[in-house]
Structure 1
C-alpha cells in the first residue's frame, strides 16, 4: 500500500498497548491521592483526538470533565481548574507552544498533568507529572496510538470510580487494535484510492459526523484536507446540520459522512437520507463495514474512532499521491511568524 509500512504501524500501536500497564499505575496513584475533575486539553489535531475520550466519559461516567482548546484555557483561566484537577494532553513533537503553555499554566495552579508525547526529552514533558512516550510514532499512525492511550486513561479513571463494567472487554479490544486496524487499512485501500482519484480536483467538501466519531470528522476536515492538502472544508455536527448548513446542499456539493456505531448514528442516518435526495456526491465512511475480528460485539461502538482513523488514513495517503501534494508541506504552520 502506498505510504504505509505494516511493520512500523504494528510497532507503534503495540507500544501504545504496552503503555497501558504504566498508564494504569499512574491513574491508580492519582485516584488514591484524590482528584476533583478531569481536563481534556489539546491543540488542533490533539484537541480533536480528545473528543472521543470526552464522549466516552460523558456517556459512561459521573466524573466531572472539561474539554478545552489549549490556548483558550490559558486565556480564560477556568475557575474549576485547580490543584485538584487532572489535565490530560498530547503532542507528538512535544513542542506545540499552545499545549506547552496550557501544561505550564496547569502546573502553576497545582494541577496534575498527564502528557502523551513522541519522546520524553521534549519541552512539554517538563510540565508533566506523568509522561508516556511512543518514539516511533509519526503523523500517519499518530491518531490511533493516541486513541489507544487516551481510552486506556479514561477507562481506568472510570473503573476506579466504580463505573464502566465493560472495562475488561474494552481494554482487551484496545489490545487487539494493532492487528484489527491493520486489516481495516488493507480492506479500505482500494475504496480510498477510488475516492481520492474521483476527488483529486474537488475544491470543497462538507464533512458531517457525530458522537464519538465527531472528533475524527473535525480532524480529517481541518488537519488533513485543509492543513495537509489545502482543500476547503466545513466540518458540521449532524445534530446541527439542519440548522443552517442544510441550505448549502446542492447537486454538486461533496458530502462526506462519518458514521460510527454509538447512540448518535440515527443523526447521521437523517442527514444521509436528506443529502442523497439533493446531492449526487455523497460518500459514507462507516465503521460497520469492517469485521473487527476478536473485538467483543458489546464494545464495537466504543472503538469506532480508531476504526474511522484507520480507514481515513488510506484516504489521506492516496490524496497525497494522486494530487502530488505531500502531507508534510505547510505554507504557514510553523513556517512563518504569527
Structure 2
C-alpha cells in the first residue's frame, strides 16, 4: 500500500497505544472518586471534530452531562455549565495549537480537572494540563487518539455504573488495531480508484450522522479543503433535506459515510434520494468490513476508527493523483490571522 508501513502502524497503535490502558484507568478513577459535574471535550479544527463522536456516544449511552466545544468559542462564551467541578479533555497532535493551549490553561486555572492527548512530548499543551497521555509520534496519531478516547469515555461510563460490559469492551479495543489494518487493506484499491476518478472534481458533498458526523466534518474541512484545496461541504444527514438537496445534479459528487449506530436510517434516506439524481455517488459503509474479534454490540462504536482509517487512504492517493502534498498550505501557520 502506498505510504503505509504496516509494522509501524501496529507498533504505534497496537503495541504502544494499548500500553496506556492502566494510566487512563488510574486518571479516570482518581477523578471519579473525587467527583465531577460534567465533561467538556474541547478542541479546534480536526481535534474538535475528533471529539464529536464521543459526545454522541455519551449522549446516547450515558447520563453523564457532556459538552463538545470549539476552543476559541468556549473561551469567549462564558459557558454556564463549566465550573471547577468540570472535567476537560483536550487533544492536539503538535501540542502547540494556540486556541487549545489557551483553553487548557484557562480551565486549569479555574480548578477544573484537565486531561490532554498529545503526540509531541514537551510541548505547551503537555505542560498546561493536570494529566497528559503523550504518544510520542505524529504518525497515525488520530488512530491512536481515537482508541485512547474509547478507553477514557467508557471508563467514565463504567465508573458511573452505566457500562457493565467495560472489561469485554476494553478487551475488544485491543483487537481494533488489527481490524483497522484489515479494513485499510481491503479498501485500498477503492481508495485509489476514487482518487483517480475524482482528481479533477472541484466540489464534494460529504454526508454523515451520529458518531460519524465528526469524521464527515473533519474530512471535508481538514483534508479536502485544507490539505487539497478542494471545495467541499459537510452535511448532517438529518439536515440534508433542509437546503442542500437543491444543489444535487447529475454530476454532483456525493460521499455518504455510513456507520452502524442508531442514525443509520438518516443516511439511508439521503442515499435513496441522491441515487435517483447523481451519477457520482460514493458510499463508504463500515458494515462492509469484517472486524475480527469485535462483537456486534460494539461495532457501532468502533465504526469511528474504521471509517477514519479508510478515509485516510483516499487522502494518500489524492495527494499522488493531484500532485498536491498533504502538508502544503497557503495560509495555515504561514501568516498571521
Query: After the TM superposition, which of the residue ranges 214-223 and 170-179 deviates more from structure 2?
Result: 170-179
Shift of the alpha carbon at 1:235?
Answer: 0.2
2:44 aligned with 1:56: no
Residues 13, 177 of structure 1: 8 Å contact kept = no
Shift of the alpha carbon at 1:20?
Answer: 1.6
Give the secondary-structure state (helix, strand or coil) at the position aligned to 1:50.
Answer: helix
Residues 120, 132 of structure 1: 8 Å contact kept = no
Residues 213, 305 of structure 1: 8 Å contact kept = yes
| Alignment match, 1:8 | 8
Q: Which digits, 9 at most, give the CA deviation of each residue in 1:126-170, with x for residues without a partner? A: 2211000111233xx222111111111000000000002332232
Give the secondary-structure state (helix, strand or coil) at the position aligned to 1:165.
Answer: coil
Q: Which digits, 9 at most, give the CA deviation of each residue in 1:152-206, with x for residues without a partner? A: 1000000000002332232122111221111111111001000000000000000
| Alignment match, 1:89 | 90
How many pairs are equivalent?
Answer: 336
1:159-238 superposed matches below 5 A: 159-238=158-237
| Alignment match, 1:108 | 109
Shift of the alpha carbon at 1:81?
Answer: 1.2
| Alignment match, 2:73 | 72
Q: 2:92, 2:136 → 1: CA distance?
A: 12
TM normalised by structure 2 equals 0.98
Q: Which digits, 9 at most, give the CA deviation of each residue in 1:235-275, with x for residues without a partner? A: 00000000111111111110000000000000000000000
Q: 2:57, 2:124 → 1: CA distance?
A: 29
Query: After the TM superposition, which of the residue ranges 31-40 and 160-169 deviates more from structure 2?
Result: 160-169
| Alignment match, 2:254 | 255
TM normalised by structure 1 equals 0.98
| Alignment match, 1:314 | 313
Gaps of 5+ in 1: none
Residues 120, 138 of structure 2: 8 Å contact kept = no
Q: 1:168, 1:213 → 2: CA distance?
A: 24
Q: Which digits, 9 at most, give the CA deviation of each residue in 1:273-330, with x for residues without a partner? A: 0000011110000001110011112111110000101111110111011111111111
Q: 1:171, 1:59 → 2: CA distance?
A: 19
Give the secondary-structure state (helix, strand or coil) at the position aligned to 1:234.
Answer: strand
Q: 1:300, 1:238 → 2: CA distance?
A: 20
Q: 2:123, 2:247 → 1: CA distance?
A: 44
Task: Supply the RMSD in Å over aligned alpha carbons.
Answer: 0.9
Residues 20 and 137 of structure 1: CA distance in aligned 2, closer, same or farther (over 3 Å)? farther
Q: 2:188, 2:312 → 1: CA distance?
A: 9
